[in-house]
Chains A and B, each alone.
Chain A
């Protein structure tokens, strides 16, 4: 509720103190925009619905995996067939290190692995025992497992507590969510923009003073959430117009899928390249709650992964050398039960998997301690056990990539981050 520090609480406080209207007016006018960061970008991609980590990063070296999932397991890579893509290979996992493999639909990510820029993390997630989507998403976004009272998201706390760059230009686009609503992860006191698409982000009045009048209506000195949000919006529209990102051609032959997710990643690339000061980008993608008929190497989950992988692969090729300054981090609220359920699907589980991608990522290695899948190794006898707290991953990326220094503000009460050594 106290989202925008300056415009909202500042001016509100002035109202209650009864200061003169002229002073109030100047205050309300003086939108303080955050300063842009130093060129590092973090792109967070949320797979909502709990992606089935065991079929995404497949433990094909684990016999128990195949016992638990007689109908939906991803077959082990064929030995000795040589090049991936040869006949029959499409139906099997793509081997990474002899034990883990990628779901065959993730083939577009294999070149990124080969280039050493992809680091999967397995058995990672929230220490909370919850199996509720809403709670688990809430915890992953607030960064405070089992503490529901946290009002802001951890990305927003990063923005709010990180030092500003004195010589950088102010920008309303330091944090952008390509979502219709501000996601929980970006809620908080630091401004963040949420939008469906760049194109849509304009007042569609054809001329006259209609737009100016509308802006005036949002600058009448009221300091509530509606006026404050409106003022931010008008600032952002002006800046985006200057950057003129509509004439955009992806580079390096990148072809984004036509899906909503693919198009949103394309627009994140546009924002990065139009140099409007983007530091934090967020997008989410649904379809992972596969209780029924999730399929194996083909089927429902395979289709979701196909779009997911093609979109990310397009983003990485489009960014090209720019990937040096970018980290892409994928996450999902929890994994799914190790055993398939009665409907050819999987019910809610515990630990999951993440991908970290970027030029500075020490890739070509699957991170995280593997807990095993035999009955006594399973969490509560049913789920993949957790060996890495998601806050360890978030902390490492925030410090090593973004230069965050105030970790205790970002993750209050989390004192023992493990160093995975993800970033060079």
Chain B
């Protein structure tokens, strides 16, 4: 008890000083005037340990999803610093080609509520048609309607998942895409949360996250807080005043707070109502759901040790009651504040008093408070440094980045600039020190091998097989950002098998022998082929031993490589990948409904034919330890 009081007091002091001495009991909802724009070059470039060539490889490895043929030359001729500056300003980069590609995808150009009306979840449709559990009642027209809805839901899923891959593949605004991936992981949502979630995903990515990926953190946070994707995922859309609290506007038919009380519900007597009626009543009478309030503090802003209490969690959740969107069963829609759901009582959040009877301002103030909290600056700075520099980022760098974040009122672009122009970023220790995520493995291979956008679910399935199903992280903490968590015997095996599948020409759209730059290698010597592949896929940097193995197949460390045949007799050839299994590709790590089917052990199903020549070298390179790094 004593401890929590102290924490509140400390937080209050901290925010007091952050507010420049304004009254701690009342928050100024208007954004404070901030430091000058971040356009001037950073004051101190510091010494860079990496050579000029290493710097080129390094920025391509960290600020993009992998170099395409020709990218090294582009960065080299523009100069590393100018290129970084350009990537920090995506609005200055023409990206018409990828825009054109996405304009033709319905999910990206259509509001989610329209999508959901057009392609209702099959179960919902069956219910409406009165045929749940018995499809034989359907008329031919209804059967056709059901078929169309099912196909539509699949299309929505495919577009959301493959859209992530294809934008990362195509976009010239690579740093913006890397940041989009970063924030989608920071503000992780889960496709299997429930039927409405998948309709929201394309909009969440393209309207909520990407436009704000390099902007002000507060703007991004507010956009997320008001997005149906997050409102639904973390349950805030149905969180409302507890029955013993006053509502901003009383429920129709309820005489103020009196009848909403617990006594009223219990007094009705459980036996007199059907369970459905009880449930409806309970839902209408409502109750607080802490889920979003907790994760907002723990995962989105202050961080788990950021100095908040259980009481803060409850009060943040109370402040955000009424932040909702039209019920998915009624077609869904965009953010709306519902005063009938809002807890009108006074709240104290992190030492700030929110007066009674205000409404939506409570939530807006909470977002102001948490987005500008010193713990948030440190937490976001730490996560960015970990993503861009190293799994264990230097403390001094995190401090400087946090200072930039605070000084610029949460300017993500400026904070990122501090990080990616720092001596720590260009240190030898940082070079190739990050382990690629499965998404990065697959996208970087496709970029290096000039693969076109896929547009089906197969590439997304491949990424799922490697352990990172898109929108498939069930719990809200997102995918790992450190290498040790991505590496285990099973995941290495899958990555190797991905290389084997590429060599065998079994990854859609990827040819191991027909990519930009491969023409001159077709009839070259094996040494030239190896050097070409090493340059295209491994950034040129492999040890002499690795090079020797790629060339001769002989390993100086092993007496007889042929004796190590581990070809599995047990692995029987299987069916080819069935795109219908897309929705089954998601694992179930933390809480959703069980998934049908054999999950994801089918993507590399068939035993591959032995590859030869250039294809073999490409497959070996992608399966090699070096390709797993960036």
Q: Which residues of A contact B (CB under 8 A)?
A: 1, 3, 25, 28-29, 48-49, 70-71, 129, 131-135, 148, 172, 180-182, 187, 192-197, 199-222, 224-227, 229-230, 232-234, 236-238, 241, 244-246, 258-261, 263, 284-289, 291-293, 296, 300, 303-304, 307, 340-344, 347-348
Contact = CB atoms under 8 A, between A and B. Distances in A.
B590 interface: yes
A424 B630 CA distance: 53
B589 A225 contact: no
Contact of A210 (B235, B391, B500, B543): B500
Interface of B: 235, 238-240, 242-243, 265-266, 270, 275, 278-279, 282-283, 285-291, 294, 298-299, 304-305, 310, 391, 435, 467, 474-475, 477, 480, 483-494, 496-497, 499-501, 503-504, 543, 545-546, 549-550, 553-558, 561-572, 587-601, 604, 606-612, 616, 619-620, 623-625, 628-629
Contact of B589 (A194, A259, A286, A292): A286
Contacts of B294: 131-132
Contact of A342 (B282, B485, B489, B568): B282
A135 B310 CA distance: 14
A180 B597 CA distance: 16
Contacts of B238: 292, 343
A217 B624 contact: yes
Nearest to A226: B625
A152 B238 CA distance: 38
Given A205-B500, A342-B243, A212 B553 contact: yes
B591 A229 contact: no
A286 B556 contact: no
28 contacts: A25-B556, A70-B278, A71-B278, A180-B467, A182-B485, A197-B601, A206-B567, A207-B609, A208-B611, A214-B496, A214-B500, A214-B624, A215-B564, A217-B620, A220-B543, A220-B557, A221-B545, A226-B483, A237-B566, A238-B566, A241-B568, A244-B569, A246-B571, A259-B595, A307-B594, A342-B282, A342-B288, A343-B282
Given A229-B487, A229-B492, A287-B591, A221 B566 contact: no
In order of increasing CB-CB distance, the 4 nearest A-B pairs are A342-B287, A202-B568, A216-B555, A208-B610
A222 B616 CA distance: 23
A49 B590 contact: yes
A71 B490 contact: no
Nearest to A178: B490
A212 B500 contact: no
B566 A203 contact: yes
Contacts of A234: 564, 566
Nearest to A3: B484
A217 B240 contact: no
B255 to A, nearest CB: 19
A353 B494 CA distance: 36
A49 B591 contact: yes
B561 A48 contact: no
**Considering residues A1, A200, A225, which has the most beta carbons from chain B within 10 angstroms of its beta carbon?**
A200
Nearest to A234: B566
Contacts of A148: 305
A347 to B, nearest CB: 6
A134 B589 CA distance: 12
A202 B570 contact: yes
Contacts of B629: 226
A373 B282 CA distance: 22
A225 B434 CA distance: 11
A282 to B, nearest CB: 12
B566 A347 contact: no
B289 A291 contact: yes
A217 B625 contact: yes
Given A48-B475, A194-B489, A204-B571, 16 more contacts: A25-B556, A48-B590, A131-B310, A180-B467, A193-B489, A194-B490, A202-B568, A203-B567, A205-B607, A206-B567, A209-B561, A214-B499, A214-B624, A216-B558, A241-B568, A260-B594
A199 B490 CA distance: 11
Contact of B623 (A182, A217, A296): A217
Contacts of A194: 488-491
A355 B11 CA distance: 42
A237 B494 CA distance: 12
Given A205-B567, A225-B484, A135 B304 contact: yes
Given A209-B562, A216-B555, A260-B588, A241 B620 contact: no
Contacts of A211: 564-567
Contact of B487 (A71, A217, A226, A342): A226
A181 B467 contact: yes
A292 B235 contact: yes
Contacts of B555: 213, 216-217, 219-220
B557 A219 contact: yes
Contact of A181 (B288, B289, B486, B549): B486
Contacts of A193: 488-490
A344 B596 CA distance: 26
A134 B476 CA distance: 9
Contacts of B562: 209, 212
A51 to B, nearest CB: 10
A284 B588 CA distance: 9
Contact of A206 (B554, B610, B624): B610
A247 B114 CA distance: 50
Contacts of A224: 625
B588 A286 contact: yes
A71 B279 contact: yes
Contacts of B305: 148
B479 to A, nearest CB: 10
Given A194-B490, A217-B620, A246 B570 contact: yes
A222 B543 CA distance: 10
